[in-house]
Amino acid sequence: MTVRTLNGGVIAAYRDRLSIPPDVEAIHINEGNTPLVHLPAVSDRKRNIDVYAKCEGLNPTGSFKDRGMTVALSIASHNGSKAVICASTGNTSASAAAYAARAGIQAFVVIPAGKISVGKLAQAMMHGAKVVQIGGNFDDAMDIVKRMPEEAEVTLVNSVNPFRLQGQKTAAFEVVDQLGCAPDYHFLPVGNAGNISAYWMGYVEYGDAGIVGAKPRMVGCQAARAAPFLVGAPIEEPETIATAIRIGNPQSWNLANTAVIESNGWFRSSDDEKILTAQKLLAERCGVFCEPASAVSIAGFCDEIEKGNIQDNSVVVCTLTGHGLKDPEIAISQSPEPITIPKGGEGLRDLILSSLD
């Protein structure tokens, strides 16, 4: 197996495995090559179950979207596109804005007003995207932007654009290249359902190429009140504190369903409280800070192992799709307030001593 150590972005690293024209010039910001971090506090030593986090928050804009956006913007630029558009719960808009900036293309992002985290909004604004907000939710925004390529000269860069999934499948390649094999289970958050579809595509392609034998069971993790795959149909009013995955009508429904069925996996959901508990567990006991939507994969794993649904001697990968700093408000609201002391420092010694008792 070739172990890729290139850090010039996912197109440079995996070009031979991407369905893109050979003369496309890569618009990249050195995305990909993210760490696969062992999580001792989540693993189960007695049962020999090892859990790793694929830390996608370490991509240039802080989420996995960059893998897809480098390909989508490279193709848009190659085709002479002057503008790109997406609907977003936040991360897609941040990534589209950054890669569009890099390409010298105007980005338009349509977001649900008041429902995207402050970090993501800051990114889209800072990178020069035209930020458009609507009173509806992500699904309403998606309906609007899908019409736009027919009405204006603009390229749609949501994951219904197949080049997005081409880029995002490289995460599965990297997991295999880093582990030396495929994991037995792969847990990941599911919102619009592009990412689980892309991972499965990557694993299948590595399987077909003879690079892996067995492929993982894909476990799609949703938030309890935004879980159309658990309901078996789109839902009108999705709600969750994990705003990134507050999506009721996933665009890649069929691909995601196929991924779960073919891999002998399953969909599952966690309520907001469990999501926040998992986020805190990761931060406090593993030193890893992810956003709430990402923690749904850890919440999912913790629940499934407790129910006895994970076999002994397994390797598990959970994708942490976005960085914790994306959503500082959630983090602060969950944590105790800072302790104020006088500027001379009185009381600090006692505080330390009493904490160590």
Q: Which residues bind ligand AN7 (CB under 6 A)?
A: 63, 88-92, 159, 189-195, 244-245, 291, 293-294, 321-322
Alpha helices in 38-161 (DSSP H): 65-78, 91-103, 118-126, 138-151
Give 217 or 314: the residue with its C-beta nearer to ligand AN7: 217
C-alpha 115 chain-centroid distance: 17
When computed from its CA atoms, the radius of gyration of the chain, rounded to whole angstroms, is 20
Q: Give me 24's structure tokens.
A: 């496309």
Give 49 or 299: the residue with its C-beta nearer to ligand AN7: 299
Q: Give me 311's structure tokens.
A: 């076999």
Nearest distance in Å: CB 130, ligand AN7: 16
- 115-128 CB burial, b ≥16 within 10 A, e <16: ebbebbbebbeebe
Give 229 or 314: the residue with its C-beta nearer to ligand AN7: 229
Nearest distance in Å: CB 52, ligand AN7: 17
Give 107 or 245: the residue with its C-beta nearer to ligand AN7: 245
Nearest distance in Å: CB 97, ligand AN7: 11
Give 256 or 281: the residue with its C-beta nearer to ligand AN7: 256
Nearest distance in Å: CB 290, ligand AN7: 8
Could you give the strand order of the β-sheet that contains 217-223, starting from the edge strand earlier in sequence?
36-38, 50-55, 315-320, 185-189, 217-223, 266-270
What span, in angstroms and rounded, lies between the C-alpha atoms of 26 and 39?
34
Residue 57 is classified by DSSP as: G
Nearest distance in Å: CB 9, ligand AN7: 20
Nearest distance in Å: CB 54, ligand AN7: 12
| CA distance readout (Å), 16 to 10, 21, 171, 199, 340 | 11, 10, 15, 17, 57
Give 49 or 157: the residue with its C-beta nearer to ligand AN7: 157
Q: What is the crossing angle of helices 194-208 and 253-262, to 10°?
A: 50
Nearest distance in Å: CB 225, ligand AN7: 15
Give 66 or 304: the residue with its C-beta nearer to ligand AN7: 66
* Residue 302 near residue 42 (C-beta atoms within 8 A): yes
Strand partners, 124: none
